[in-house]
Amino acid sequence: MKVMIDFSHSKNLPVIYHGCGNSTMIWPDLIEIGLDAYNPLEAKSGMDVIDKRRTFGHDMAFCGNIDVMKWADASLEDLEAEVLTKMNAAKGGGYIVQSDHSVPSNVSTERYEYAFNIVKNTVNIP
């Protein structure tokens, strides 16, 4: 893996690793070999981007952790709280806002747009 990371970096390309479940135990090794970002931080596996930011600082960027089950089932107020809480990990950079897994088919277009607009309106995306 380090060979692939080094090659990508030699071409000025960042490396994002996708891993399912809770792989926190190997993160120090991933950071040591130069991994740039980890995706998707599955909430249901006990991953929490705020906790990971406290533990690992900005040694590695994070992508995801917005619980797709809340997109599907939570009240709009709870969904908004989920999105805004996870966006706290973006302070200082190094966080890509996204779901923690594939968005299930029971998430309506309206709820998806609702979550998207929370992000858009919070970070002033034109």
Q: Is the peptide bond between 40 and the residue preceding it cis, with omega within 30 degrees of 0?
A: yes
Backbone angles phi, psi at 111, to 5 degrees: -70, -40
Determine the Cα angle at 51 with ends 50 and 56, to 5°.
100
Do 83 and 115 form a contact (C-beta atoms < 8 A)? yes
Please tell me the total count of domains within the chain. 1
Domain that holds residue 21: 2-123
CB-based contact 38:56 (threshold 8 Å): no
21-30, 66-75, 87-96, 109-118: which has the minimum mean pLDDT? 87-96
- Percent of the chain residues topping a pLDDT of 70: 98
Question: Do residues 5 and 35 lie in contact, with contact meaning Cβ atoms separated by under 8 Å?
Answer: yes
Give per-residue pLDDT as tens, 19-63: 999 999 999 999 999 999 999 999 999 999 999 999 999 999 999
Backbone φ and ψ for 83, nearest 5 degrees, come out as: -65, -50
pTM: 0.87
Asked whether 34 and 9 are in contact (CB, 8 A), the reply is yes
